[in-house]
C-alpha cells in the first residue's frame, strides 16, 4: 500500500508497437529477453510514464530510502532499493487514473514473466497489481513474496481458483480511510495468493477477474478493516484503470529485482486446464517401512495434490528427465547418496504413499544439506503432525549432507507421508524409518545402503573387506563431516580444520578409541582412533 497523494497523474499509455498476441507456447521460465532488451531508460524519483513504441507504461514509487529503476524497450525492467518503508516498480497497461477505466468483459488479460530477486522486507507482494473504478478496488494476484501474506493483512478467505498449475486462495480486506487513487477513502482490496512462490511463468489474469466477478456478484459483506474494526462493503470488481506486473517491498526493505522476460496482452492465450494425472505411489509401489523414503520418489499426481514446488527457481539446473516435465517445478539434483530434491523454498512439500509393516516407535533420520542456514523438516502422516527434524547446515556447502533425527509412533497399514521443507535452499536426499531397537536389519542401513558403498548393510558387517584408514587429512579448506558408529547410528557433525587430521578431530570430539564411519559428501571412510 502506498501514499498516492504524492504521485503526479499522467495520461494514458501510447498505442503499442510490439506484437499484441501473447504466445503461451513460449516458456518464460526458459526463454531470455535480456540480450534483446533494447535501450535502457532510467527512472528518477516517483514517476509514471509510457514505454515509447509499446502498449505499456511504467511506474516507480517509494517512501523513504534510496532506489533506482531502469526499464527497457521490450518492457523488461530492473530495480534496486535500500531501507525503504515502501517501494514499488511495475510495468503494464495504464488507462488513466481519473478516467472511466476499461471493462474486463470480453477481454483476455495475460502475462508471461521471469525474474530474479535479492534482499529482505517485512512484507512484499510480487505479481499482478492494479485498481478499478465504479467501485474503487485495489487488487493483487500474488505469485511471490518476501514474507507470505497473512490473513491479518489480506482478510479472510472467500474462495479458491485453480489456474496456472496452482490453487490460489481468494481474500478480501477493507482499507479504512486510507490513501488511494482519489486521496483518503475507504475501499475494498482483493487478493489471489498462490500456495507456493514462483519466479517465472504464465498468468491467466482474466481467469482471476472472471472468478472474482462470479464469486462476489455485487453482494455486501462485513469484513475486517485496516483500523482493526469491521465494516460492510460491496464485493464487486469494477473497470480496470491499470493491469501491471509489479514488485512491492516494504518495512525497511532492501533488495533488487531483474525481470529478464516480460509480455502482457489484452487478448492473450487463456491457460489450459491441467491434465489430470492419476494419483499413485511412484512406480506404482508404496515405500515400505521400516525402510527408506527417497525424496525424489514422491507420488505421481497433479501439482498441489501430491507436491508443490518453486516454479522457475533453478531454470535448467534440475534433472527434469528423472520425473518428466509434468513435475518440472520440483528440481531433482545429484547429491547425497544419489539423487535429492534441491533448489527448494520455504513451505515446499511432497507426499509419499507408504506401507508400514509393523506397529511401533520409529527412529527417523533425514539426510539433508543447506548451505545458507539451519533448518527444519516437518513431517505429517495422513494430515496430522508426525515429527519435526532439525539440522544445522554448513555455510556455503550443499555437498555435505547431515542427518536430522526424530522419533514417531507408526501404526501398520498404508498411509500418506508429507514432507514440508520449512526453510529455503534445503536439499533432501531421503528420510529413513527404523523400528526402535532394531539395530540389525535396519539399524545399519545408514552405514550401508544409504551411508555409502563402503559402510556395510548390517553395521559394518563387511567392514573387513576393505582396509581401515588409520588417518585422513583435509586439504586446504576446512570441511564438516558426518560421523556414524559401526552400527550405522549417526553420532554428530565434526568440523576438521584445513590441513589437519580427521583422526585427531574424532579423538578430540568423542574421546573414545574405536572405528568410526566418516562421511564427506557421498564418500564414506572408516577411520580407526586409538
Residues with Cβ within 8 Å of 228's Cβ and at least 6 positions away in sequence, in order, are none
Per-residue model confidence (pLDDT) at position 271: 86
In a 3-state reduction of DSSP, which class is residue 85? strand
For the segment 369-392, the average pLDDT, to the nearest whole number, is 95
- Average pLDDT, stretch 94-117? 92
Which pLDDT tens digit goes with each residue over 398-452? 888 999 999 999 999 999 999 999 988 899 999 999 998 654 344 334 333 343 3
Which pLDDT score is estimated for 421? Answer: 95
CA distance 479 to 508: 16
**SS3 assignment for 276-340:** CCCCECHHHCCEEECEEEECCCCCECCECCCECCCCCCCCCCCCCCCCCHHHCCCEEEEECCEEE
Helix, strand or coil, per DSSP, at residue 157: strand
Res 16: pLDDT: 30
Cell numbers given for 286: 508404496
- When pLDDT is averaged across residues 235-247 and rounded to a whole number, the result is 96
Residue 166, pLDDT score:
86
Mean pLDDT over 56-65 rounds to 94
CA dihedral for 490, 491, 497, 503, sign (positive or negative): negative
Mean pLDDT of 488-502: 77
Confidence of residue 295 (pLDDT cuts 50, 70, 90): very high
Amino acid 365: pLDDT: 95
- Identify the CA nearest to 342 among candidates 309, 375, 302, 389: 309
pLDDT of residue 474: 54
Specify whether the CB–CB gap between 504 and 478 falls below 8 A. no
- Report the catalytic residues: 138, 248
203-224 in b/e burial notation, b at 16+ Cβ within 10 A? bbbbbbbbbbbebbeeeebebb
Cell 518495512: give the residue: 251
Report the relative pairing of strands 123-133 and 66-72 from DSSP bridges: unpaired
Of 22, 206, 48, nearest to 113 by C-alpha is: 22
Rounded distance, CA 140 to CA 294, Å?
Answer: 38
Q: What is the spatial distance between Cα 520 and Cα 530, in angstroms, rounded to a whole number? A: 21
Sequence-distant (≥ 6) Cβ neighbours of residue 513 within 8 angstroms:
529, 530
According to the model, what pLDDT value does residue 527 have? Answer: 86
pLDDT for the residue 473: 57
Q: Which H helix or E strand runs over 508?
A: helix 502-510
Q: Report the mean per-residue pLDDT for the chain.
A: 84
Is the confidence at residue 76, as pLDDT, over 70? Answer: yes
How many whole angstroms separate alpha carbon 147 and alpha carbon 124? 6
d(CA 515, CA 470): 9
* Spatial separation of the C-alpha atoms in residues 471 and 516, rounded to whole Å: 11
Tally of CB atoms within 10 A around 232: 9
Query: Of the ranges 9-18, 125-134, 163-172, 193-202, which one carries the lowest mean pLDDT score?
Result: 9-18
pTM of the model: 0.60
Q: What's the mean pLDDT in 321-331?
A: 82
Report the range of poorest mean pLDDT among 16-20, 205-209, 373-377: 16-20
**Closest to 109 measured CA to CA, from 240, 248, 246:** 240
Strand locations in 411-464 (E): 413-421, 426-435
Q: What is the pLDDT of residue 424?
A: 86
Quick one: average pLDDT of 262-277?
A: 87
Measure the CA–CA gap between 59 and 50, rounded to whole angstroms. Answer: 9
Could you identify the residue written with the cell 556414524? 484
How far is 311 from 322, CA to CA, in rounded Å?
17
Asked whether the predicted pLDDT for residue 460 surpasses 50, the reply is no
Residue 521: pLDDT band with limits 50, 70, 90: low
Instruction: Determine the length of the chain.
Output: 530
Q: Say if residue 74 is exposed, middle or buried (CB neighbours under 10 Å; 0-12, 13-18, 19+).
A: buried
pLDDT digits (tens, 9 = 90+) for 221-231: 999 999 989 99
Inform me whether the pLDDT recorded for 14 exceeds 50: no
pLDDT of amino acid 478: 62
Split at pLDDT 50, 70, 90, the class of 245 is: very high
Query: Any idea which of 149-158, 199-208, 345-354, 515-524 has the lowest mean pLDDT?
Result: 515-524
| 144: confidence class by pLDDT, cuts 50, 70, 90 | very high
From 90-94, 310-314, 411-415, 462-466, the region with the lowest mean pLDDT: 462-466
Alpha carbons 92 and 77: distance in angstroms, whole number: 11
Q: What is the b/e burial string over 435-465, where b = at least 16 CB atoms within 10 angstroms of the residue's CB?
A: beebbeebbbbbbbbbbbebbbbbbbeebee
Amino acid at each position: 500500500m502506498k501514499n498516492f497523494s504524492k504521485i503526479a497523474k499522467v495520461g494514458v499509455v501510447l498505442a503499442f508497437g510490439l506484437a499484441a498476441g501473447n504466445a503461451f507456447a513460449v516458456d518464460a521460465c526458459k526463454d531470455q529477453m535480456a540480450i534483446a532488451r533494447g535501450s535502457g531508460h532510467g527512472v528518477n524519483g516517483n514517476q509514471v510514464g509510457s514505454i515509447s513504441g509499446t502498449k505499456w507504461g511504467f511506474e516507480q514509487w517509494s517512501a523513504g530510502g534510496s532506489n533506482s529503476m531502469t526499464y527497457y524497450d521490450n518492457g523488461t525492467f530492473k530495480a534496486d532499493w535500500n531501507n525503504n518503508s515502501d517501494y514499488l516498480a511495475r510495468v503494464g497497461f495504464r488507462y488513466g487514473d481519473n478516467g472511466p477505466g476499461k471493462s474486463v468483459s470480453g477481454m483476455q488479460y495475460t502475462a508471461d514473466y521471469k525474474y530474479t530477486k535479492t534482499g529482505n522486507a517485512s512484507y512484499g507482494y510480487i505479481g499482478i497489481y492494479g485498481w478499478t473504478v465504479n467501485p474503487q478496488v485495489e487488487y493483487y494476484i500474488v505469485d511471490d513474496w518476501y514474507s507470505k501474506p497473512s490473513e491479518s493483512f489480506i482478510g479472510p478467505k472467500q474462495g479458491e481458483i485453480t489456474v496456472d498449475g496452482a490453487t490460489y486462495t481468494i481474500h478480501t480486506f477493507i482499507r479504512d480511510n486510507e490513501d488511494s487513487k482519489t486521496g483518503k477513502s475507504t475501499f475494498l482490496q482483493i487478493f489471489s495468493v498462490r500456495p507456493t512462490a514462483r519466479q517465472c511463468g504464465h498468468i491467466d489474469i482474466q481467469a482471476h477477474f472472471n472468478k472474482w466477478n462470479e464469486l462476489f456478484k455485487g453482494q455486501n459483506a462485513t469484513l475486517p478493516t485496516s483500523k482493526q474494526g469491521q465494516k460492510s462493503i460491496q464485493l464487486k470488481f469494477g473497470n480496470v484503470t491499470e493491469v501491471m506486473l509489479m514488485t512491492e517491498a516494504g518495512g525497511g526493505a532492501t533488495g533488487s529485482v531483474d525481470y529478464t522476460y516480460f509480455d502482457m496482452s489484452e487478448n492473450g492465450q487463456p491457460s489450459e486446464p491441467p491434465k489430470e494425472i492419476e494419483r499413485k505411489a511412484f512406480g506404482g509401489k508404496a515405500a515400505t517401512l521400516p525402510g527408506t523414503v527417497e525424496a525424489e520418489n514422491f507420488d505421481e499426481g497433479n501439482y498441489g495434490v501430491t507436491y508443490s514446488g518453486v516454479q522457475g527457481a533453478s531454470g535448467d539446473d534440475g534433472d527434469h528427465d528423472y520425473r518428466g516435465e509434468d513435475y518440472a517445478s520440483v528440481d531433482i539434483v545429484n547429491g547425497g547418496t544419489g539423487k535429492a530434491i534441491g533448489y527448494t523454498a520455504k513451505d515446499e512439500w511432497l507426499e509419499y504413499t507408504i506401507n508400514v509393516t509393523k506397529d511401533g516407535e520409529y527412529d527417523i533420520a533425514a539426510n539433508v544439506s543447506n548451505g545458507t542456514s539451519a533448518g527444519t523438516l516437518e513431517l505429517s502422516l495422513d494430515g496430522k503432525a508426525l515429527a519435526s527434524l532439525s539440522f544445522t547446515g554448513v555455510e556455503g556447502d550443499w555437498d555435505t549432507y547431515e542427518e536430522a533425527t526424530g522419533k514417531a509412533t507408526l501404526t501398520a497399514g498404508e498411509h500418506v507421508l508429507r514432507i514440508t521443507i520449512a526453510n529455503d535452499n534445503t536439499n533432501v536426499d531421503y528420510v529413513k524409518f527404523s523400528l526402535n531397537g532394531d539395530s540389525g536389519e535396519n539399524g545399519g542401513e545408514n552405514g550401508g545402503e544409504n551411508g555409502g558403498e563402503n559402510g556395510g548393510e548390517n553395521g559394518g558387517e563387511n567392514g573387513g573387506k576393505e582396509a581401515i584408514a588409520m588417518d585422513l587429512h583435509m586439504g586446504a579448506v576446512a570441511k564438516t563431516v558426518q560421523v556414524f558408529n559401526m552400527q550405522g547410528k549417526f553420532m554428530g557433525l565434526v568440523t576438521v580444520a584445513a590441513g589437519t587430521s580427521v583422526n585427531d578431530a574424532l579423538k578430540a570430539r568423542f574421546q573414545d578409541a574405536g572405528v568410526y564411519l566418516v562421511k564427506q559428501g557421498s564418500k564414506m571412510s572408516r577411520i580407526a582412533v586409538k
